[in-house]
Structure 1
């Protein structure tokens, strides 16, 4: 080894000795890119991202063809998309909502050097926060719009008609489930079919049906299962729900499906629970209401429209059927209406806490065979729901039996109702019953009444939707006065939106 090293050493010395070259160095054209913000925030399918960078060079060049430009969106080292190939970026945003690195690369073709500038790009969706509206468009088809409130309030139109689904009829509701992100869905309920939409794009296919989530041994045609009511609902501005592990879906044919996510392996449903545990072989048709405390849905009531009685589903974990509720002599009202001859007209969950109902009382309107109407107030909680109060509607309540819509205040003994274009409020406080009318609402047809129990339930704002052919749909928000001696409606600041569809329902969405 030593002999080999000694032989190679003269060769290396000779090589170094021969390197007598003369080198000349030249400055290249250097680029500095400015005029690019440190970050950008845009809405996909809404905004156009416009950036006009300033490029300073150490060597003047008037040859525009000397440079190539490329704007790319990256996630880490992975290129997601090319957004533009001109110096000035003008990009109608179609990227999926996410956080990206936006990079401008400038190639100097004369020097073959690439210069770059990075910034951050946050892509959001206009659908992530706001009031979702369902109703009819001018052709009479079901439609969904949204008052997007991600930044400034913006009306987004034609959501359902551009979703990829066929034309649907008879809008019922549009509902974001809220809750655990793993089980979130956004449902559109209509009389001709109910579908869940992609929450980011608001697109859907005909396969997005409840039938693909139901595994039943009952002789039910699952392809005809179209939900109309979902519980629990979102209960605050942040999009929370009271019970994150359970969900109930009431279908238009009267079947009720429930799930406990951890036991069912996700948002999947087994046999319907609209059956009496003592006669489980018979399925009963439920009225379109799920009654439960909005603040905590550990159980729920539903109404058996075949036998005119309230039924109790007392546990989402243990029960596969529902049970009848016992009535006692002297009760203020019966759960089973057989003896009274009454039937259900309407029902609603509220934030009313009378009688110690911490998580919210429910109200129901029933009528007897002589068309006398009654209000039941109860706490639909646990295995023994509590009867809180009973009120017989007085004759002073003008056309109460003809109402198109009802809405119960959580904070007052008041139920609002509408007949055509006329709005009334009936104070049912025993001994102090009063009726009020509100001609200031105008003469347009009232298409929806709804108290807010989702966005800011403590104010319990009343939303009123109206419609006329010329100005289309209008949604207004009112505050109900707190003076116990009178019922007053005061328009809320910045609480009117027009140019809408014919609104028949609304709900709040707070997250993707």
Structure 2
């Protein structure tokens, strides 16, 4: 062992005396500096984006552009989307027509010195937007046909685009009376964003980024739909989960995560084979986190609530026993909507022989808990045409012709909020957003949305869209925004971002 240690010591001593004869003469290399590029650019879809960066070189006084190669590449910053061709240019300057899907991209400009092979790069963000990138989408009736309009969000607010399908050349002409329009996310990816438009002549799917016609609804359904079918209501509680109610009185279910696609009707009680007639309204848990994934449907044949669970996708099952009322109501369902009020109460208005109406509330969460059941004593409610529930205050809004009422469920008092005279209210709604984290949702989820129709004006411009702030303690409505020039508004959705 001592000899081994001595040999190691000698070897170390000899190596420390070794003279390093390597060549350590340093040579300066040509460094490329890139300037004249901002951190963010907003580019209209289909436009030519021109960018001329400034290049300086530490060892190239001639600035010979032929001594370098250039590359411009774009990569989507959103998750869940891939781009087949993300190369924008191979030139010193960028001058390219941008046809990438709308969204935010990281663009890399790379300059490589041919002599050294060393590359230098500059990064920046590019937001690709379209005229239909974000905003309110309104489906109206004009001379017994349908027209799709949009309030497009821009840097200076919302700008109306009348007949948006015609203005962008969508490849679709709507015929028949308006029924429903709904922005939906079939998947979390941008490519899964879509807009369903329904008229009495059918349902079409639009590309969510361009609003171009994509396909008829039948393409999305794994069963043969009956002749003359259209979707009269699409409900989506969260991304990639949807319910679609058809004019055949059936409900169809979609859940991308578990590869469940629109197919056979799900309004079939477990153990039976014949579908029951189902209402178009859906109740659900407001917050998907920790939920039981329960959705509540209404069996119109047996006049009772039933539940549909993703783990039993082909059937419905009985509701639990109620603590305030029986889920087998024996009444017709006039209206149902899940709200953000009281941590997600579902409001259901029940019609007893068109003589009395009852308001039932229940919360769909870890369990289905009933929270309220009382007769609805609102003025002239038998004549109510459109209904909306305020998400923060729980008020019931409804209209009778041109009279807009607010019903306070706590005091059971009705207040006439607005009398439009000879005009009529064609549309009422609150919320409609999937979440309230986006800028638009924060600003508008608790606004009362009102469609007003003036029969004295030309049909193509007789409608207006109004947004009201709803004060507490039954305060008067405060008009916050108003837009005109629409047809008779039937329904509205928001193209979210």
Structure-1-length-normalised TM-score: 0.68
The 2-side partners of 1:200 and 1:411 are apart by 31
TM-superposition CA deviations, 1:1-60 (whole Å, max 9, x none): xxxxxxxxxxxxxxxxxxxxxxxxxxxxxxxxx999786422225x68688999xxxxxx
TM-superposition CA deviations, 1:169-204 (whole Å, max 9, x none): 223123232751177231323132112211222111
Closer, same or farther in 2 for the Cα pair 1:223/1:175, shift >3 Å? farther
TM-superposition CA deviations, 1:124-171 (whole Å, max 9, x none): 233565333232253442222222225333433323344212423223
The 1-side partners of 2:491 and 2:183 are apart by 10
TM-superposition CA deviations, 1:477-502 (whole Å, max 9, x none): 1111122xx3421222xx22222343
Q: CA deviation at 1:100?
A: 8.8
Structure 2 residue 423 is the aligned partner of structure 1 residue 415: no
Question: SS of the residue aligned with 2:142?
Answer: coil
Aligned equivalent of 2:4: none
Q: How does 1:88-487 map to 2 (within 5 A)?
A: 96-97=101-102, 99=105, 122=126, 124-126=128-130, 129-136=133-140, 138-155=142-159, 156-161=161-166, 162-169=169-176, 170-177=178-185, 180-181=188-189, 184-191=192-199, 192-205=201-214, 207-209=215-217, 211-216=218-223, 221=225, 226-233=230-237, 241=238, 244=239, 246-264=241-259, 268-278=261-271, 280-296=272-288, 298-313=293-308, 315-325=309-319, 327=321, 331-338=323-330, 342-353=331-342, 358=343, 360-369=344-353, 371-381=355-365, 385-394=368-377, 397-429=378-410, 432-439=411-418, 443-454=422-433, 455-456=441-442, 460-468=446-454, 469=457, 472-483=462-473, 486-487=474-475
Question: SS of the residue aligned with 1:42?
Answer: strand
Q: Are the counterparts in 2 of residues 375 and 390 from structure 1 also a CA contact under 8 Å?
A: yes
Q: Are the counterparts in 1 of residues 430 and 445 from structure 2 also a CA contact under 8 Å?
A: no
Residue among 469, 476, 486 paired with 1:500: 486
Aligned equivalent of 2:21: none
The 2-side partners of 1:337 and 1:171 are apart by 28
The 2-side partners of 1:223 and 1:439 are apart by 42
Residue among 486, 490, 495 paired with 2:478: 490
TM-superposition CA deviations, 1:386-429 (whole Å, max 9, x none): 221112122xx332111110111233352111111111112232
The 1-side partners of 2:136 and 2:444 are apart by 20
The 1-side partners of 2:264 and 2:49 are apart by 50
The 2-side partners of 1:332 and 1:100 are apart by 56
Q: Are the counterparts in 2 of residues 453 and 460 from structure 1 also a CA contact under 8 Å?
A: no
Aligned equivalent of 1:18: none
The 2-side partners of 1:413 and 1:123 are apart by 38
Question: SS of the residue aligned with 2:258?
Answer: helix
Aligned equivalent of 2:14: none
Q: CA deviation at 1:93?
A: 6.9
The 2-side partners of 1:48 and 1:184 are apart by 26
Q: Are the counterparts in 2 of residues 127 and 146 from structure 1 also a CA contact under 8 Å?
A: no
TM-superposition CA deviations, 1:449-475 (whole Å, max 9, x none): 111252138972211121222553222
Task: Flag structure 2 segments of 5+ consecutive residues without an equivalent.
Answer: 1-34, 55-70, 76-84, 110-121, 434-440
Q: CA deviation at 1:336?
A: 1.6
The 2-side partners of 1:73 and 1:48 are apart by 14
Q: Are the counterparts in 1 of residues 184 and 195 from structure 2 also a CA contact under 8 Å?
A: yes
Q: CA deviation at 1:443?
A: 4.6
Closer, same or farther in 2 for the Cα pair 1:227/1:185, shift >3 Å? farther
Q: Are the counterparts in 1 of residues 279 and 299 from structure 2 also a CA contact under 8 Å?
A: yes
Structure 1 vs Structure 2 CA RMSD? 4.1
Structure-2-length-normalised TM-score: 0.70
Count of residues in Structure 1 that have an aligned counterpart in Structure 2: 415
Rg bigger for which structure?
A: 1
Q: How does 1:24-43 map to 2 (within 5 A)?
A: 40-43=41-44
The 1-side partners of 2:141 and 2:235 are apart by 27
Closer, same or farther in 2 for the Cα pair 1:221/1:451, shift >3 Å? closer
The 2-side partners of 1:503 and 1:474 are apart by 8
